Amino acid sequence: MNHLQFGVDYYPEHWNKNRWPVDLKMMKEMGLDVIRLAEFSWSALEPSDGQFTFDWLDEVLDLCEAYKIKVVLGTPTAAPPAWLIEQMPDIQPMASDGSRRYFGGRHHDCQSHPGYREKIIRYVTTFAKHFGKRECVIGWQVDNELGNSHGDLCYCEYCEKRFRQWLENKYENIDALNENWGTTFWSQGYQTFEEIHAPKKTASGHNPSQVLDWKIFHSDLINDFHALQANIIRSYSKDRFITHNCMGFSDIVSYYDLAKQLDFVSHDQYCEGYWKNYEETTVTEENHRQGIFPAAELDFIRSLKKDNFWIMEQQSSIAGWEIMGRTPRPGQIGLWSMQSVAHGADTIVYFRWRSCPMGTEQYWHGILPHSGKPGRAFYEIKALIQRVKPLMKEIKGSLPKPKVAIVYSYEQNYAMQIQPHHPDLHYVNHLMTFYNELHQNNVPVDFVSELEDWSQYSLVIAPFQYLMGQEQEQAYRKYVKNGGKLIVTMRTGVKMRNNLCLIDEELPGNLQDVLGVQVNEYDCLRKNDVAVTLNEQKGYGSKWADILTPTTAQTLATYRSEFYAGQAAITVNHYGKGDAYYVGTELDSTLMHHFLAPSLKELTNLPQTPAGVEITSRENDNCTYYFVLNHRDEAMTIDIPQNWTAYFEDQDSSKLAPYSYQIYFERKNHG
C-alpha cells in the first residue's frame, strides 16, 4: 500500500474550473493527501463516440501535482453515456419481468453485452494509456460499487447466452445439468443447453437449483467484468494499485473472488441513517446507532484479505437521496472514522468534497455544504486529521487479532434468499445474532469463507450451513477433530451444494457423528416464539426450531413449549479433541448471552463496557493500540486498565464525551 492517511472523493466536472485551485488548496490545508476522481465522468471524457476530451482532467492532475495530492482514478462504467445507449439500447439491463431499466440514473448497463464491452475496452485502454503513468496517479478503481443496483440482475439475451456457456462449463453435458437441477419435477427436463433461459418471472415458482446457479453465474460475470478492465489497466499503468469500493455485506458479487483481483480492498462506510427506510434494510436503527452493524461490515471487509484496507467513501455529513438521515452529531464523523481505523482501515477517503447542486445526490452531503464555505463538517474533519495523522502513520499495518471467526458464505445466503423458510429469516441478521453478542463483549471477530484454514481460531461459528458439500464437511470434521470449537445452527446439512435436498440419511447428514445429533422433525415458528431454557435461564427461540435428538451429544438447552417441550434445542458433542455445538433455533439476546458466556474469557482480554461503548484493538510486533469508542449520545465513564497509556495527553481517561473516541497503547514486553 502507500503512505496516505486521508483523502476525499472529488468531482471537479461538477464545478467551474476557477474553483479547482481553491478546492485543492483547501484540501491540502486540511491535511488531505489523496483524491478519487472520474468514476462517473464518461460523458465528460468521451462526449461522443470515439472523441476523447481528456484535457480538463489533465488540468486537474496538473493541479494535483502542484499541490502534491495523489490520485486514484476510476473507470466510469457505472454510468455509460446517452450516446452509447442511443447506439445500443439493449445495453440497458432487463429486469426479471422482461422490462428494461432505462437511462437516467446509473448502473444502466448489461455487463455481458459484447458491443458494450468493445466500447469499454476502447475507453479503458485510451484512458489508462493517457493517464496511467502520470506522477500523481497512484492507483485505480474499476467501475463503482460493483453489484450495486443489480438487485434484479440482468436477464437479457446476452446474459442468457453467457449463462448457457457457464452451465456448459460447469456440467459438461445436459444430463448432468438435468440431474443437478432435478428437472424431472414439473416436466422441466432439457434436451440441449440452448433450451435454457434466465430464470425470468414465471407463471408460478422457480427451480431453486437453477436460481442458485444463476446467482453464482452473475457473481462470476461481475468478476469477469472487473477483470476485463483490470487487465487493461495493469498493462498500461504498471506499479499502480487496483482496489475496489465494496459495500460490506452486499451480496450480488462474491467479494472473496473480487478480493483476489485487488491489491487491497476498499469499502464504503455510511453509518447513520441509510437513505432507505430502516424497514427495507436488514438491520435496525438501534443496531446502527450503537455502531454494531458498521463494525461487522468493517470486520468482514478486513477479513477478505486478512489485511488492512481503505475506506473509499467515509460518510462526511448528512446522507440521503429523497429522504435524508440525521445530521451527524458533533464528534460523530470523527468517531465513525476512528471506528474504521480501529477495525483495520489504514486510509480514510471521505465522500464527498462538496454537496452537489444537481442530480440524484443533491442531499448526499459532502465535507463542504452547497455554498462551498467551510462549516462544522469541515472543521471537525480538519481537527481530526491534525490529531490522528501521526497515530495513523505509526499504526499502519497493525491489525486486530481475533480468535473467533464467523463463516460468511455467499452461496448459503443465496440459498436462503431463494427459500427463506420463514418470512423474517435473513442470513445476515441470523449471523448478526452471534456477532451482536461478541461485539458487546468486545470480542474481536474475523469472517471466513467455508473452505479456508481455520486452525488459527479457537472458535468457528458457522450459522445456517444449509448447503453441505463433501469438502466443506471434511473441513468441519478436521477442524473439530484437531481441537476446534464449532457452532452450527438450524438447517445444517439439509441440502447438497446443488440445492437439492439430501436423501438416504437423517439430518444433519454426514456430520451426524461430529455433531452427535439427529434432526428428525422441525417447525417453522411463524409468529410463535418457542420457550427455551438454558442452564435455568429462560428465553425464546424464534423463526425456526430444529428438534434435536442427541445420539452422543449432551443437551445444553431444552424447548419448554410446543409439543416438543422437553426435547433438545442446543447440544454439544465432544469429537476428537474438539467440541461441536448444534443450535436448533434463532436465540434471543438473553439465550445468546448465556450460551456464549462460557467461551468469552478465552476470546478477549479487553475490558467489558456498557452497550454502545466499544473497545477494539490493533497490534503489531511492538505495541497494542486500544480504541475506545462511545457511540452513545451521553458521556460514559469506563475503567481503563492500569497498564494502558493514553495516546493523547489531553485525554480525560475517566470520561468519554458523547460520540467520542479515546486511544491508548501498551508496549509489548519482548524481554
- Least separation in angstroms between residue 455's CB and ligand GAL is 36
User: Which of 65, 263, 361, 588 is in the footprint of ligand GAL by CB under 6 A?
Assistant: 361
Residues 368 and 19: their CA atoms lie apart, in Å, by 13
Q: Let me know if 280 is a catalytic residue.
A: no
- Least separation in angstroms between residue 272's CB and ligand GAL is 13
User: Which of 143, 145, 257, 272 is in the footprint of ligand GAL by CB under 6 A?
Assistant: 145
The amino acid that residue 552 corresponds to is T
Q: How far is CA 540 from CA 87, 492, 528, in A?
A: 59, 20, 10
DSSP annotation of 129: H
666 binds ligand GAL (CB under 6 A): no
Q: Which is nearer to ligand GAL, 313 or 614 (CB)?
A: 313
144 binds ligand GAL (CB under 6 A): yes
Residues 567 and 555: their CA atoms lie apart, in Å, by 9
DSSP annotation of 477: H
By the 10 Å C-beta count (0-12 exposed, 13-18 middle, 19+ buried), 661 is classed as buried
Distance, first Cα to last Cα, the chain: 31
Q: Which is nearer to ligand GAL, 184 or 360 (CB)?
A: 360
User: Which of 313, 411, 437, 614 is in the footprint of ligand GAL by CB under 6 A?
Assistant: 313
- Least separation in angstroms between residue 363's CB and ligand GAL is 9
Strand partners, 578: 575
DSSP annotation of 500: P
Options 297, 313, 450, 586, the catalytic residue: 313
268 binds ligand GAL (CB under 6 A): yes
Size of the site for ligand GAL (CB under 6 A): 8
Q: How far is CA 272 from CA 170, 276, 292, 319, 565, in A?
A: 42, 11, 12, 8, 42
Buried b (16+ CB within 10 A) or exposed e, 337-373: bbbbbbbbbbbbbbbbbbbbeeeebebbbbbbbeeee
Q: What is the 3-state secondary structure (H, E, C) of 35-93?
A: EEECCCCHHHHCCECCECCCHHHHHHHHHHHHCCCEEEEECCCCCCCHHHHHHCHHHCC
Q: Which residue's Cβ has the minimum distance to ligand GAL?
A: 364
Which cell numbers hold the place of 509? 447428514
315 binds ligand GAL (CB under 6 A): no
263 binds ligand GAL (CB under 6 A): no
- Least separation in angstroms between residue 202's CB and ligand GAL is 32
Q: Which is nearer to ligand GAL, 33 or 313 (CB)?
A: 313
Chain-centre distance of CA 324, in angstroms? 23
546 binds ligand GAL (CB under 6 A): no
Q: Which is nearer to ligand GAL, 300 or 476 (CB)?
A: 300
Applying the rule CB under 6 A, the residues between 472 and 511 that interact with ligand GAL are none
Helix (H) or strand (E) holding 638, with range, is none
Q: Which is nearer to ligand GAL, 47 or 359 (CB)?
A: 359
3-state SS, residue 423: coil
- Least separation in angstroms between residue 575's CB and ligand GAL is 44
Options 145, 380, 450, 586, the catalytic residue: 145
Q: Which is nearer to ligand GAL, 247 or 405 (CB)?
A: 247
Q: Which is nearer to ligand GAL, 251 or 268 (CB)?
A: 268
CA neighbor of 427 nearest in space, from 454, 453, 466: 466
Residues 180 and 167: their CA atoms lie apart, in Å, by 11
Asked if 497 and 468 touch (Cβ cutoff 8 Å), the reply is yes
Asked if 238 and 231 touch (Cβ cutoff 8 Å), the reply is no
- Least separation in angstroms between residue 243's CB and ligand GAL is 13
Q: Which is nearer to ligand GAL, 298 or 515 (CB)?
A: 298
3-state SS, residue 455: coil
- Least separation in angstroms between residue 591's CB and ligand GAL is 36
Residues 545 and 548: their CA atoms lie apart, in Å, by 9
364 binds ligand GAL (CB under 6 A): yes
- Least separation in angstroms between residue 613's CB and ligand GAL is 28
Applying the rule CB under 6 A, the residues between 226 and 245 that interact with ligand GAL are 245
By the 10 Å C-beta count (0-12 exposed, 13-18 middle, 19+ buried), 668 is classed as exposed
Q: Let me know if 536 is a catalytic residue.
A: no
- Least separation in angstroms between residue 348's CB and ligand GAL is 15
CA neighbor of 615 nearest in space, from 606, 623, 624: 606
Let me know how long the chain is: 671
Q: Which is nearer to ligand GAL, 246 or 547 (CB)?
A: 246
- Least separation in angstroms between residue 148's CB and ligand GAL is 6
Q: Which is nearer to ligand GAL, 349 or 507 (CB)?
A: 349
Residues 557 and 534: their CA atoms lie apart, in Å, by 4
Residues 339 and 663: their CA atoms lie apart, in Å, by 11
- Least separation in angstroms between residue 145's CB and ligand GAL is 4
The amino acid that residue 592 corresponds to is M
Asked if 31 and 385 touch (Cβ cutoff 8 Å), the reply is yes
**Strand (E) positions, 276-370?**
309-315, 345-351
Q: Which is nearer to ligand GAL, 265 or 405 (CB)?
A: 265
DSSP string, 180-195: HHTTTGGG---SSGGG
Binding site for ligand GAL (CB under 6 A): 144-145, 245, 268, 313, 351, 361, 364
Q: Which residues are catalytic?
A: 145, 313
